[in-house]
């Protein structure tokens, strides 16, 4: 029978310590498991949660890799709105919030032996403010791991755990000399061994980094998912996490403009992410054929996701423009209807009032993108449906070539170089008319104002 997540954590911790032949009490195992569980099940954790932790740890049997996986996302400052209660007292001894930044600045009068080693391994210094996308979350997650594990592990074992967690800082490229961050970490480990008189042979360092690259690649494995719909599900959970105003768990209503802003941030991220920086290779691990497969599938998923997101963003921008031109921003549910889920199947939606497209009205589209918009991702979220019938309608009427032009126009609007009315004019007039008429059936208070677009 399937265990409760808290007990599954207990099992993985017990197995790891037993494999290391380390004696630890059940009470201490329980204390660590509860800290991980309660932090990773925070209300706003939709992607970086316990399910993700188990997914990352699942293929590993090497105990130090497993321990690194269990701790690697303990701190997620921008999602948790700070530090969770379970780890706040630990973390706040090492970092301060100054000038709206997290600054590495210990206040403890006596620092533990692992502190300087961890600082050096990450390449940070006292006073640094790496930012939530520059490694501060991973660094502080490592601090939490060191706090709990230091009483039981040797310095060499702690370094392996820390290196695996450091390796999960995502999407890093190469320095000016062409060195990957794993090659830079190799140099740091050599310096650490000498500086702190720790016995780390070249073979030891190589083994540490081979384990670290395996954990790093497993952490982003969803980018190479063979099912693009699953990859997009993960992306949508990240949108939810990254945009707290879209979280309607407590019946928070998000606006048309707020929805567009959430999509816009993700579209910008996907467009600018270099696929060559997603997966990593160190000394032929993973083997070249596997590394090529991961990279190729990531490129395929990203290409589909970028066009999918472009269509979603163009549709959201049209909704925003219609709202702004008829009285201002409104709740999304007021303009197009509630999110239709398994629990709310019969709710009124704008797509119910769209006429069937004629073949002569359809433009050339990417078949996979159309399929995902029409038949949906694999899972619903609280703020968006798996199917996107309104966006699919726009996509078919616009087509791939015109979609790119329309997205550029939308971005010009975001830069405030044109007006919402200008964006509406740039859209297919028949599309605008049909969308306005459909929204008028739902948005009772805007129905008269929308008539000017019929």
Q: What is the DSSP string of 75-139?
A: --HHHHTS--HHHHHHHTTTEEEETTEEEE----SS--THHHHHHHHHT--TT----TTTTHHHH
Most confident of 24-33, 98-107, 168-177: 24-33
Is 385 strand, coil or helix? coil
Q: pLDDT digits over 189-205, tens only? A: 999 999 999 999 999 99
Q: Which of 212, 186, 214 has the alpha carbon at shortest distance from 200? A: 186
* 29 has a pLDDT exceeding 80: yes
Over residues 322-339, mean pLDDT: 93
Angle between helices 114-122 and 181-195 (to 10 degrees): 150
Of the listed ranges 6-10, 207-211, 253-257, the least confidently predicted one is 253-257
pLDDT band at 230 (very low <50, low <70, confident <90, very high): confident
pLDDT of 251: 43
pLDDT band at 383 (very low <50, low <70, confident <90, very high): low
* 10 has a pLDDT exceeding 80: yes
pLDDT of 1: 78
* 380 has a pLDDT exceeding 80: no
Listed as own residue / partner, the contacts of 288-294 with beta carbons closer than 8 Å and 24 or more positions apart are 293/224, 294/217, 294/223, 294/224
For 298, counting Cβ atoms within 10 Å of its Cβ (0-12 exposed, 13-18 middle, 19+ buried), the class is buried
């Amino acid at each position: 029978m399937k265990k409760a997540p808290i007990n599954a954590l207990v099992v993985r911790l017990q197995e790891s310590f037993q494999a290391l032949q380390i004696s630890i009490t059940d009470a201490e195992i329980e204390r660590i498991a509860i800290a991980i569980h309660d932090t990773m099940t925070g209300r706003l954790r939709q992607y970086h949660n316990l399910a993700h932790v188990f997914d990352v740890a699942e293929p590993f049997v090497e105990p130090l890799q497993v321990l690194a996986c269990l701790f690697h996302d303990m701190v997620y400052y921008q999602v948790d709105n700070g530090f969770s209660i379970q780890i706040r007292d630990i973390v706040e001894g090492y970092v301060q919030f100054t000038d709206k930044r997290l600054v590495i600045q210990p206040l403890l009068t006596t620092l533990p032996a692992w502190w300087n080693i961890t600082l050096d391994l990450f390449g940070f210094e006292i006073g640094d403010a790496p930012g939530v996308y520059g490694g501060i979350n991973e660094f502080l997650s490592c601090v939490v791991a060191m706090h709990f594990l230091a009483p039981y592990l040797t310095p060499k074992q702690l370094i392996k755990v820390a290196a695996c967690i450091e390796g999960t800082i995502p999407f890093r490229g190469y320095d000016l000399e062409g060195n990957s961050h794993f090659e830079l970490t190799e140099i740091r480990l050599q310096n650490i061994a000498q500086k702190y008189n720790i016995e780390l042979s070249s073979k030891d360092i190589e083994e540490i980094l081979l384990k670290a690259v395996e954990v790093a690649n497993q952490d982003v494995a969803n980018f190479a998912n063979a099912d693009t719909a699953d990859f997009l599900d993960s992306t949508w959970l990240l949108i939810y996490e990254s945009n707290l105003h879209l979280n309607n768990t407590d019946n928070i209503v998000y606006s048309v403009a707020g929805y567009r802003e959430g999509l816009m941030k993700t579209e910008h991220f996907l467009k600018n992410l270099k696929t060559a920086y997603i997966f990593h290779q160190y000394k032929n691990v993973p083997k070249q054929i596997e590394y090529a497969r991961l990279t190729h599938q990531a490129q395929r998923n990203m290409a589909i996701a970028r066009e999918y997101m472009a269509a979603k963003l163009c549709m959201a921008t049209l909704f925003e423009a219609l709202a702004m031109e008829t009285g201002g921003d409104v709740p999304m549910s007021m303009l197009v209807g509630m999110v239709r889920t398994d629990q709310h199947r019969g709710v009124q939606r704008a797509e119910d009032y769209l006429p069937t497209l004629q073949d002569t009205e359809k433009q050339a589209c990417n078949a996979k993108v159309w399929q995902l918009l029409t038949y949906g991702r694999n899972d619903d979220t609280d703020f968006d449906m798996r199917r996107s019938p309104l966006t699919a309608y726009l996509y078919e009427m616009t087509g791939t070539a015109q979609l790119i032009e329309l997205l550029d126009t939308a971005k010009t609007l975001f830069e405030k170089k044109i007006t919402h009315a200008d964006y509406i004019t740039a859209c297919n007039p028949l599309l605008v008319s049909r969308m306005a008429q459909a929204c008028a059936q739902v948005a009772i208070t805007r129905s008269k104002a929308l008539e000017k677009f019929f």
